[in-house]
Amino acid sequence: MAAPHLPDIVSLAVPGFVLLVLAEMLVAWAKDKSRYEPKDTLTSLALGTGSTVAGAITAGFIYAMATWLYGHFRIVDLPNPWAWYWFVLCFVIDDFAYYLFHRSAHRVRWFWASHVIHHSSQHYNLSTALRQTWTGFISISFIFRLPLFLVFPPAMVLFAGGVNLIYQFWIHTEVIGRMPRWFEAVMNTPSHHRVHHATNPRYLDKNYAGVFIVWDRWLGTFEPEREDEAPRYGIVKNLGSFNLIWAAFHEWVGIAKDVWAAPGLKAKWNYIAKPPGWSHDGSRETSETIKALWEERERARERVEWMKPISSSSEEDRAVPRRPDGSARTAATR
């Protein structure tokens, strides 16, 4: 079977993205004006546009490398390689590769430096979905997708990646609460992804899925959204600036400064390869230290709750006026 012409579906989807952002703005205007902020929206969309420019510049190299890998190092010749079921399999495996990339993007500072752009908005709306990296190529995040080129035709893999990206657009919203239970069980949803974008200690470093939430459930990184704990979006140290260049490069600047100042080669390497927030003297906050502090505080609060008097020997009860026989005079008997 000859290779079919696969469209650039992300470019085709852009008008739909624009219309949906417009619709979500109208919902925000009617329900909660704080869901959108003009400067934040402009920053997100400008970062998204810059990302497509950066992608266009590096796409040729990526495609050439993918074609070379597929041509020279293919480990299997699929029968009828453009059959629909190979598309489905490719899509599922590509989504797992996305999970691995995404988890690494939060746990390895080098990858985080590129990915942090997507999390740097304190808002969570459809424009946030378009806030994409400029430095994905520099961070070599494409390596997670390379194994797929040893099996599937490059155009198929890149098409699957495009579908994955489009799927993830609609989950960046607070307009949708929960999807039906069966859908929430299998698919990534607005509810699951709100948790991923949250900085609440309970929610940090959870729900890395792209399309199928089953990877998180399987690998122990799933956390459901709770009714009693609304997500707070952004990053642990929010930028406090709408500067486009700073949003795109601040973590790279941070790495450069830390590596320069680090004592010894091991510390220099760790500032690149350890999780965000790692420091050689332990003076900074990581997800782990933030979670530990929060858990300690929660335990302290629970202890206070337990120590609150609840029996009739409580101060409130003792304050109730007594009859001469010692029985309490309740409001009804007064």
Positions 177 through 206 that interact with another protein (CB under 8 A): 199-201
Using rule CB under 8 A, residue 214 touches another protein: no
Positions 100 through 129 that interact with another protein (CB under 8 A): 122-123, 127
Q: Which is nearer to another protein, 104 or 127 (CB)?
A: 127
Q: Which range, of 93-101, 208-216, 293-301, 321-329, touches another protein by CB under 8 A?
A: 293-301
Positions 76 through 105 that interact with another protein (CB under 8 A): none
Positions 244 through 283 that interact with another protein (CB under 8 A): 246, 250
Question: How many residues make contact with another protein (CB under 8 A)?
Answer: 49
Using rule CB under 8 A, residue 240 touches another protein: yes
Residue of 81, 234, 254, 275 that binds another protein (CB under 8 A)? 234
Q: Name, in order, each residue with C-beta under 8 angstroms of 171's C-beta and a sequence gap of 6 or more.
A: 129, 188, 189, 190, 192, 193
Using rule CB under 8 A, residue 165 touches another protein: no
Residue of 63, 83, 261, 289 that binds another protein (CB under 8 A)? 289
Q: Which is nearer to another protein, 68 or 246 (CB)?
A: 246
Nearest to 102 by CA among 193, 225, 233: 193
Residue of 3, 4, 22, 299 that binds another protein (CB under 8 A)? 22
Q: Which range, of 62-70, 109-117, 179-187, 233-241, touches another protein by CB under 8 A?
A: 233-241
Closest approach, Cβ 124 to another protein, in A, equals 10
Nearest to 54 by CA among 14, 114, 120, 126: 114
Q: What is the CA radius of gyration of the chain?
A: 25
Q: Which is nearer to another protein, 82 or 294 (CB)?
A: 294
- What span, in angstroms and rounded, lies between the C-alpha atoms of 214 and 186? 6
Using rule CB under 8 A, residue 241 touches another protein: yes
Using rule CB under 8 A, residue 304 touches another protein: no
**Binding-site ranges for another protein (CB under 8 A):** 11, 14, 18, 21-22, 25-26, 28-29, 33-42, 45-46, 48-49, 52-53, 56-57, 122-123, 127, 199-201, 232, 234, 238-243, 246, 250, 285, 289-290, 293-294, 297
